[in-house]
Amino acid sequence: MSIIDTLAAKLAEDTLKAMDELGDDRLYIRVGDILAASSQSLEEAYLTEVRVRLSERLARQFLIKTVKDARAGKSAPKTE
């Protein structure tokens, strides 16, 4: 893992924690803007890390709800 990937992963993790604490779901964009002013490479790696983590969160929430609903006898939501 390169230093850029390591820094981007840690910053993404810290940003998501701050977003949760502050209730600010767009904080990562402002952090990305700061990075863009000084390092496009770090900005791109950071935004990828954030998007991957946010996508995983959404998928996990969907999975948990689907299993919970199935166990409760509800029909699973359909996706296409």
* pLDDT digit string, tens, across residues 49-75: 999 999 999 999 999 999 999 999 876
Within-domain flag for 20: yes
Within-domain flag for 76: no
In this prediction the pTM is: 0.83
CA distance 39 to 58: 29
Within-domain flag for 56: yes
Within-domain flag for 21: yes
CA distance 19 to 6: 20
Q: Which among 32, 35, 77 is positioned nearest to 50, based on CA atoms?
A: 32
Query: For residue range 12-56, what is the model confidence (pLDDT) as tens digits?
Result: 999 999 999 999 999 999 999 999 999 999 999 999 999 999 999
Within-domain flag for 79: no
Within-domain flag for 78: no
**What value does the mean pLDDT take over residues 7-11?**
98
User: How many domains would you assign to the chain?
Assistant: 1
CA distance 25 to 34: 17
Within-domain flag for 80: no
CA distance 1 to 14: 18
Domain hosting 64: range is 3-71
